[in-house]
Amino acid sequence: MAGYRKLGKTSSQRKALIRNQVTALLYNGKIVTTEARAKEIRKVAEGLIALAVKEKDNFETVTVKAKVARKDANGKRVKEVVDGKKVTVYDEVDKEIKKDNPSRLHARRQMLKVLYDVTEVPKTLAGRKKNTKKVDLVAKLFDEVAPKYVSRNGGYTRIVKIGQRKGDGAMEVMIELV
């Protein structure tokens, strides 16, 4: 018996499909897909969540000095003239950052191998590139998803049957985070 479903695709197409749907599931919380695909997605998604739960608190907080540009009331950088050139004025600020321990860093890199980059576009000014922002899905896994599942041993997803698809009669299901 095979260890996975082929889903009627070549290996590269299948890996891309699974990565795409796992990313969508973790970003949105639920997706609608076919039953066979959902069962394959479940394996990967639950593995990532288990990894996040295991490494959730494995970091240390470090204080670092950072140079931050001074800004005026409008949010623009303050510039001053030095030797005939306009130069941005910087202030030194203490910042608290999370420094991953080696095992958490490894887990983060394992997750990044599977998850695609997600760019969030605001609905009000759609089509404007400067208003988009990248979503750190790995940080979301560690900070939001993992704390919900600390007391749970597996079973992080639920598959609910919706019914047959009109076009080809495939069984459609909704897979969601519990």
Residue spans per domain, the chain? 11-58+102-177, 59-100
Lowest mean pLDDT among 69-78, 95-104, 164-173: 69-78
Pick the CATH number of 11-58+102-177 from 3.30.70.20, 3.90.1030.10, 3.10.20.90, 1.20.210.10: 3.90.1030.10
Check pLDDT > 70 for residue 126. Answer: no
Q: How confident is the model at residue 122 (pLDDT cuts 50, 70, 90)?
A: confident
What is the CB neighbour count within 10 angstroms for residue 155? 10
Query: Which tens digits make up the pLDDT trace of 76-114?
Result: 888 988 888 999 989 999 999 999 999 999 999 999 999
Dig out the tokens for 87 from the structure. Answer: 């130069």
- Please give the pLDDT value at position 75: 82
CA separation, residue 64 to residues 4, 47, 139 (Å): 46, 34, 20
**Helices assigned H by DSSP within the chain:** 11-28, 35-54, 102-114, 137-140, 146-148
Instruction: Give dist(CA 105, CA 155) in Å, integer.
Output: 24
- Please give the pLDDT value at position 1: 60
When the pLDDT of each residue in the chain is averaged and rounded to a whole number, the result is 92
Check pLDDT > 80 for residue 127. Answer: no
Least Cα distance to 34 among 17, 46, 50, 49 occurs for 17
Q: Average pLDDT in the 135-151 region? A: 95
Q: What is the dihedral of CA 96, 101, 106, 112, to 10 degrees?
A: -10
pTM of the model: 0.84
- Say which DSSP state 78 is in: P
